[in-house]
Structure 1
Amino acid sequence: MKKNLLFILALLCLTQISFAAITVKGRVFDKATGHPMEYATVRACTLPDKTFVSGCITDPSGHFSMELEKGRYELEIQFMGFITSYKTVNLDGTKGVVDVGKINLSPDSRLLEEVNVVAEKSTYEMTLDKHVFNVGKDVGNTAGNAIEVLENIPAVSVDVEGNVSLRGDDGVRILIDGKESGLSGMSTQDALRTLQGDMIERVEVITNPSVRYDAEGSAGIINIILKKDKRQGFNGAVNLRTGYPWMYGASLSGNYRLKRWNLFASYGFNNRSNIGGGVNRTKRYSDVVDGDTLFTQLTDQTTERRMNRMGHNVRVGADYYITDRDIVSAAFVYRYGKLATHPVVRYSDVYPMWDSASYDVRAEDYAEVDPMYEVTLDYDKTFERKGRSLKANVRFFTNTENAGSDITESLYPNADAQQALWTMYQKTGNDQRMRNLQASIDYVHPFLTKAQWEIGGKYTNRNILSNDSVWQKNDGIWEPLDNYCYDYEYSEQVAALYTSLGNEWGRWSGQVGLRAEMTDILTNLKGYAHDGTDSINGGKPYFDFFPSAHINYSVNEFNQFQVSYTRRIRRPGFWQMSPFRSFNDNRNIRLGNPSLTPTYMDSYELGYIHFWDNASFNFTTYYRHGTNMIRNYTYEDDGVFYSMPINFGKADDFGVEAVAQGQMTKWWNLNGNVNFFRSQFNGTINDKVYNDATWMLFGRAVSKFKISNWFDLQLTAHIMGPHKEPLGMRKGNWWVDLAVSKEIFHGNGTITFNVRDLFNSRSWGGESWGDGFWQYNTSTWNRRSFSLNFNYRINQQNMKRNRPGGDEGGDDGGGEEQTGEDY
């Protein structure tokens, strides 16, 4: 294996030597202001036939550079709102580097006078290695939060509790601006619900990341890029929203660029109510006699839940250009969230063997606050040679969650009874604190003509402390329930080094890399543990290698292929290992498992992408092999059902994914995706071997109509098929969202009306079974909702750049300097 890897690396380098190329470079300026222009597009076409051969965009200092062979070319330099410039270049091969010098672009007064034009990026920007979803283009996300934004991303699904999965695997890594962030919180679902969609610029989905990224995340990476601009002068936006069930909120964002300083700030506030609930039917049985099941208990359980969530998000920062090639950035983020829930659980029990029944009502008042702050410092340096760069980052954040609840449970002889037989009072407490320190460095060095070597490292130190307790009132005295009181400490250190080598030769390009990670996890549990011991203390150090390989073949600029391989890991998270127990439903309790071990995933992909003038199509087939897979296991003990994650065994997934988008007519845009795969799983639970397979299908379609010049109408349909699990099955579900938007104030403002779950059809559920029981459940997190959003833009103009099948700038749309690099 090592010899083969060395051979591939040598081949990538040596093959390039046979291709002689000449570097053409220059610099683009705004003639009116004299400032360098970032994101100007430079295209090279052969003369006299004007065949496109290469292209690039300018960096923050206006520099561009491209590699061309001998010949005569016309350079086309363009930028939205400016007059296109042309320059002829003759390359005779006598010079290895040709500098075309300073190129000035003049503003196009005709375009500047068209104040009614508001250009936008495509909703999707597809490449072979990732999909980019531009949030601002999708009118259905204007009043939503980050969880609702993710629901509209191809291959991404979100369940009723906000758990995110990618291609059916919930081992997905969620990053903010390319890094693990306090904005994703200790409870990722709750934190993302406080992050408003109007603060998000775009979302990147990477299913087979290179070694540059953390190896964490068996399914891949979802990278949420927040808004920040770098254009000269001041620009900003104001958002106001309201809706039903009752919600209201506002957000402000601004950016000011002057000479060497770029200042940015944003603030968001949201208050939102949810109404949800569910139904659970349980059958307990003792034996089967003459083919008849002897049921000992039948339980119909209903849950009604009212929830209110309030959150503040503040983000301020600055970029300082020491030179045109040296940038220092600092940012501060503060988030404050407050959650209140009021679930009421009703149990109707029937005991056939004893011809008796009972009715039980359990009500809870739960409150939680979770402040967070984060500080980041970045240094970016680019060199004169195109592609050579150095980046360094230091990030620290801390989360605190303080929660408690008051619970009242009453037992009645039947549902119509007014007088309770008895009433029990309980209360819970949960205090948690997380601290996270990260430091990373990355260096990219181009060599030969089109080869590139990259090396980097990262260190992460994460520490979580949790104190949990449950108390019960007996004879007027509060007493702790020892089985539910504990202190748990989780400490994780990960040190990583990686290197990769890439090259281009003709229509081929490739990259191979290797990442090494040393992980040390230390857990310390004091108090009751679910395995019966009084304490669990110990470390779990392990060392792993994670290789990756990507090979691309470009038939032409309209047809491209890629084959890739990566190895990834899913480390058990804090919530999976902590003995935390949900207690609002004391008949269905969730446990953690401190004995969990990491899941390893080998992922192979073959992808094809085709561009048309107004459409694009991406088809991917993939195979994943996972070991030590983590699955939820439910068992019954003395009438209580416990659910906990366990290492189940292995899984093999074979799937296909198709994503397409197209401008069908001037007034109709259509895009969608479908994912279909077969999962074969094999594992052992309680000495029983389970070997089975299931098929799974999910997809979505978005149809957007421009109704004359009055408004836009968007319909989004989602579908998720049923599938089997080792000890159960999940039912399928579907739902439709509707959005209508209207431009006002000469294109500077937008009003949007949204209806989520138009037919109130969205629900989640399924069946589970085990020794002596069968359960069926269905639930909804939120019912049909309505929202109205107003957005006003100040000195903003989204720049449209056409290319086959979409807009350019998938890695730099929105002016964000961070495009998903993680180490």
Structure 2
Amino acid sequence: MLTRKQLCTYLTLFMCLPFFSINAQQKSVEISGKVLESTNNLPIEYATISILDHSTKKPITGTITNANGTFSIQLEASNFYVEVSFMGYTTKRFNKEKLVGKKINLGTIILVEDQHALDEVVVNAEKSQTEFKLDKRIFNVGTDLSNTGASALEVLNNVPSVNVNIEGEISLRGSSGVQILINGKPSVLSNAGSNALGTITADMIEQIEVITNPSAKYEASGTAGIINIIMKKSERRGLNGSVSLNAGVPNSNSFGMSLNKRTEKFNIFSQIGLGRRTYPEENKTINSDLTDNTSISSVGEREMNEKFNNFILGTDYHINALNVLTLSGSYAFEVEDQNSQAVYQQTDLNQTVTDSWLREELTEAKNPKLRYELQYKKNFKRHKEQALLFSALGSSFKKDETSTFNNTTILGDNPDEVQLSRTDYALEDYTFKLDYTHPFLKVFTLETGSQYAINKVTNDYAVDGIGDIFNFNQDVLGIYNTLAYEGDIWGVKLGLRLENTEINTLLQTSNVQNSKSYANLFPTVHTSYKFSENMSFQAGYSKRINRPGLRDLNPFSNIRNNFSISTGNPDLQPEYTDSFEITTIHKFEKASLNMSFYNRYTTDVIERVNTFEDGVNTSKPENIGTNNTSGLEMNGKYNPTDWFSLNGDFNWNHFNRKGDYETNSFDFKGSRWSTSLTSKFKLPARFDLEVSGNYNSSFKTFQNQISDNLFADVGVRKKIFKGKTILNISVRDLFASRVDETTTTQPTYYLYNSRQRGRFITFGISYGFGKGEAMEFSGQRIR
């Protein structure tokens, strides 16, 4: 595939070829000069210098500038003019009255960016293409996506299997649980939310890697997949940035600003964001005791208000062409208040209301967040893919929360009651990582490395002055090796990862300790075969682990609803999954289609188990048996015209659950499916319209039945001022049809829970300055 510079060179040489012999014989006029770009006065390499006949307008000869932006050309002519041009910049013309003498020095020629031309240009020789590797797909970003206003999110929208909705939410093969990496590692940019990714422009991206079944190089904890954004070595120089302002209903107001300064040695980036959001909710619960036909129900409303601000600052120091040092950090502070009201009713066996009361909640919380990162990368002259990477990443999160619950009697003899709870929560994460990649013999690649992750949590919890302190410490050490062979048609990659896990939990007041230590091997195998340029085959196997998180291990309960309590289980064991996947990739002229057949076999499955006593349901996670899931996933894109595209995803699977809990068998089988369809329209006057629909079928879990779900989102975007300013409006859950509904039917009790957040409408405006681009997707807050 030709690069833009190579294409410009070949076109210029082709244009000048017929005149080289003439110029070699006659050299009566010499023209020279230097070409710079206007923003930072940096030299432009490969700018075209055209000498044209003044009468016929036909070319006489020409040349291009060198790496310093200078040029010199000799010719035999008298009636001519000179044009200096470069793709994306306005052309500068020198008429014959300024071209006097045998040695003509045009001096310093400044070219200014032509924003309109950038919007329209498409170079077919550099059209973006997808490359299929053993364990991943690589989307090489071409100049067809480098139009003014294009962001990293817009580039992702063109990657097969990836979709970005109008709100900037990224999904991979229909699942939003995707991990975003930048240059192979977590980053403050990739973890700061969609606005941060929106400030990365298309011409800063070299490649995007899509990994649906990760190899041993990546930690073995399960994810829906990985998207790795590979940045180009040279970022935009000078001061660039963008600002955005958003307002919405319910309350959804935010301001964001991004700044980037690139010099010869340093690339400094920063971002600031602040705002306020409101999340309303309507909920309903029913707890029925089928042994005596009594029940307790509630209907209520809840509202969470959140004020937030954050700041991101980082710098890349280019020590030399082969060594780069990066230091970055972010700080965020959130203030939350939650208000809820719910009316509870208790009925007897005749369905007569015997008691009724109003339960009101007021919760306040402060959440500071800190994240910092140091990275060193060394490249080697021997091979462009040979690299050594070290990174150290740290983060902390704290929550200081207090809650007051007031029960006011409406009917019955129960006295009014006040409950108080508090939580002092602190989390610290540290990750140290070392990776080395060594290609050899042209078709082989060896990867080796290690990672040490430390996770520390302290949760001081009390209800009405009675509580405990729960400490959770987890250390995971991972070491891996992979070896890959990759030819033009066929390839295979083998990997093995060793992870040793140490977990210690302690309830300080009651002095209850729990320690776990286990080491596991995680093998991976990937292979691929290329039938043709338009059809490929991939297959992979990996063993994965799902370690219980704090939410599952923490023994403290949530008392928001005294009759529906959720708690953790410190005795939980991790899940293990053997994951198999076969994928076929088909590319057509205006469409692409991927089909995947997969199987996942999981042992020690973690499921929440309900226990019911005296009208109170308690949900607690337990390890119960095995789960064997087989499924088919299809996703495709269709672009029949330049102004319309259609993205679709379909996922169906069948599961077979086997397990025993407290001498009861919980074997069952079932299936579930989901689909999404997104239509995108480029309308006149630079309007963009996006309409998406999503459907999730009903399905059965260990004890529960989850109802189906159908909802739609719509968004409109308008570019003005040559793409430097963007207006957008989005509506999430257009018909307010998204309701989360769960029912539990057991021999002795019946449970019903539902909640709904409703419709969200957001309006945003964004402006890019310098060489920065306006934020295309500004509906979500920065985290």
Same-fold call, TM cutoff 0.5: yes
Q: Which amino acid aligns with 1:779?
A: R
- Distance of 2:557 and 2:200 partners within structure 1: 33
Q: Which amino acid aligns with 1:769?
A: T
Residues 173 and 663 of structure 1: CA distance in aligned 2, closer, same or farther (over 3 Å): closer
The answer as to 2:416 corresponding to 1:440 is no
The answer as to 2:501 corresponding to 1:519 is yes
Tell me by how many angstroms 1:400 deviates: 1.1
Q: Which amino acid aligns with 2:496?
A: L
SS in 2 for 1:758: coil
User: Counterpart of 2:295?
Assistant: 298
CA deviation string 1:734-756 (max 9, x = no partner)? 11111111111122111001111
Conservation of the 8 A alpha-carbon contact between 1:229 and 1:264 = no
SS in 1 for 2:551: helix
User: Counterpart of 1:395?
Assistant: 393
Tell me by how many angstroms 1:155 deviates: 3.8
Conservation of the 8 A alpha-carbon contact between 1:201 and 1:226 = no
SS in 1 for 2:685: coil
Q: Which amino acid aligns with 2:683?
A: I
CA deviation string 1:591-647 (max 9, x = no partner)? 000010000011011111122343322111111110011111111123211111111
- Distance of 2:364 and 2:524 partners within structure 1: 45
- Distance of 1:449 and 1:193 partners within structure 2: 39
- Aligned pair count reads 660
- Distance of 1:229 and 1:244 partners within structure 2: 41
The answer as to 2:153 corresponding to 1:135 is yes
Question: Which of 743, 763, 767 pairs up with 1:788?
Answer: 763
User: Counterpart of 1:75?
Assistant: none
- Distance of 1:500 and 1:311 partners within structure 2: 43
User: Counterpart of 1:461?
Assistant: 454
Q: Which amino acid aligns with 1:763?
A: V
The answer as to 2:697 corresponding to 1:695 is no
Tell me by how many angstroms 1:252 deviates: 0.7
Q: Which amino acid aligns with 1:657?
A: E
Conservation of the 8 A alpha-carbon contact between 1:28 and 1:37 = no
Conservation of the 8 A alpha-carbon contact between 1:173 and 1:217 = no
Conservation of the 8 A alpha-carbon contact between 2:379 and 2:386 = yes
The answer as to 2:265 corresponding to 1:263 is no
Within 5 Å, give how 1:276-291 maps onto structure 2: 276-286=281-291
Question: Which of 459, 482, 485 pairs up with 1:500?
Answer: 482
Question: Which of 305, 311, 323 pairs up with 1:326?
Answer: 323
User: Counterpart of 2:148?
Assistant: none
Which has the higher Rg, Structure 1 or Structure 2? 2
- Distance of 2:599 and 2:44 partners within structure 1: 43
Conservation of the 8 A alpha-carbon contact between 2:333 and 2:369 = yes
Residues 753 and 790 of structure 1: CA distance in aligned 2, closer, same or farther (over 3 Å): same
User: Counterpart of 2:250?
Assistant: 245
The answer as to 2:523 corresponding to 1:547 is yes
SS in 1 for 2:723: coil
Conservation of the 8 A alpha-carbon contact between 1:334 and 1:371 = yes
Residues 183 and 466 of structure 1: CA distance in aligned 2, closer, same or farther (over 3 Å): farther
CA deviation string 1:238-260 (max 9, x = no partner)? 11100111221011112111111
User: Counterpart of 1:720?
Assistant: 696
- Distance of 2:701 and 2:228 partners within structure 1: 29
Question: Which of 738, 748, 751 pairs up with 2:727?
Answer: 751
User: Counterpart of 2:590?
Assistant: 614
- Distance of 1:236 and 1:439 partners within structure 2: 31
Tell me by how many angstroms 1:539 deviates: 1.6
Conservation of the 8 A alpha-carbon contact between 2:201 and 2:773 = no
- Distance of 1:461 and 1:115 partners within structure 2: 47
Question: Which of 426, 443, 453 pairs up with 2:419?
Answer: 426
SS in 1 for 2:508: strand
Conservation of the 8 A alpha-carbon contact between 2:646 and 2:678 = yes
CA deviation string 1:565-614 (max 9, x = no partner)? 11110001011101121111111111000010000011011111122343
- Distance of 1:644 and 1:613 partners within structure 2: 52
Q: CA RMSD in A?
A: 3.8
CA deviation string 1:344-386 (max 9, x = no partner)? 2221211126955211211100111111112111111111112
User: Counterpart of 2:372?
Assistant: 375
Conservation of the 8 A alpha-carbon contact between 1:154 and 1:659 = no
Question: Which of 197, 207, 211 pairs up with 2:212?
Answer: 207
Gaps of 5+ in 2: 1-5, 10-33, 46-85, 91-108, 140-150, 158-163, 203-207, 778-783
- Distance of 1:37 and 1:299 partners within structure 2: 75
- Distance of 1:401 and 1:356 partners within structure 2: 40
- Distance of 1:363 and 1:558 partners within structure 2: 61
SS in 1 for 2:667: strand
- Distance of 2:194 and 2:309 partners within structure 1: 8
Tell me by how many angstroms 1:281 deviates: 2.1
- Distance of 1:592 and 1:446 partners within structure 2: 47
- Distance of 2:685 and 2:516 partners within structure 1: 62
Residues 152 and 451 of structure 1: CA distance in aligned 2, closer, same or farther (over 3 Å): closer
Conservation of the 8 A alpha-carbon contact between 2:152 and 2:199 = no
Conservation of the 8 A alpha-carbon contact between 1:194 and 1:310 = no
Conservation of the 8 A alpha-carbon contact between 1:444 and 1:453 = yes
Q: Percent identity?
A: 27
Question: Which of 461, 465, 468 pairs up with 1:486?
Answer: 468
- TM-score, scaled relative to structure 1: 0.73
Question: Which of 246, 254, 263 pairs up with 2:259?
Answer: 254
Conservation of the 8 A alpha-carbon contact between 2:284 and 2:754 = yes
User: Counterpart of 1:570?
Assistant: 546
SS in 1 for 2:570: coil
User: Counterpart of 1:15?
Assistant: none
Question: Which of 362, 366, 369 pairs up with 2:363?
Answer: 366
User: Counterpart of 1:352?
Assistant: 349
Q: Which amino acid aligns with 2:117?
A: E
- Distance of 1:227 and 1:632 partners within structure 2: 46
Conservation of the 8 A alpha-carbon contact between 2:610 and 2:618 = yes
SS in 1 for 2:722: coil
SS in 1 for 2:666: strand
Conservation of the 8 A alpha-carbon contact between 1:229 and 1:255 = no
SS in 2 for 1:114: helix
User: Counterpart of 1:667?
Assistant: 643
Tell me by how many angstroms 1:394 deviates: 0.9
Tell me by how many angstroms 1:31 deviates: 8.1
User: Counterpart of 1:217?
Assistant: 222
CA deviation string 1:236-288 (max 9, x = no partner)? 111110011122101111211111111111111221112112112221122xx
CA deviation string 1:527-575 (max 9, x = no partner)? 4xxxxxx442132010000011111111222221100011110001011
CA deviation string 1:506-539 (max 9, x = no partner)? 3012211100011100111134xxxxxx442132
- Distance of 1:155 and 1:698 partners within structure 2: 11
- Distance of 2:253 and 2:127 partners within structure 1: 29
User: Counterpart of 1:645?
Assistant: 621
Tell me by how many angstroms 1:343 deviates: 1.7
CA deviation string 1:312-364 (max 9, x = no partner)? 12111111111111111110111112221112222121112695521121110
- Distance of 2:194 and 2:555 partners within structure 1: 26
User: Counterpart of 2:142?
Assistant: none
Tell me by how many angstroms 1:670 deviates: 1.0
The answer as to 2:682 corresponding to 1:706 is yes
Residues 443 and 224 of structure 1: CA distance in aligned 2, closer, same or farther (over 3 Å): closer
Gaps of 5+ in 1: 1-25, 39-78, 84-105, 140-145, 158-163, 166-171, 185-190, 287-293, 415-419, 472-479, 528-533, 800-813, 815-823
Residues 617 and 124 of structure 1: CA distance in aligned 2, closer, same or farther (over 3 Å): farther
User: Counterpart of 2:311?
Assistant: 314
Residues 274 and 110 of structure 1: CA distance in aligned 2, closer, same or farther (over 3 Å): closer
Residues 148 and 271 of structure 1: CA distance in aligned 2, closer, same or farther (over 3 Å): farther
- Distance of 2:239 and 2:121 partners within structure 1: 18
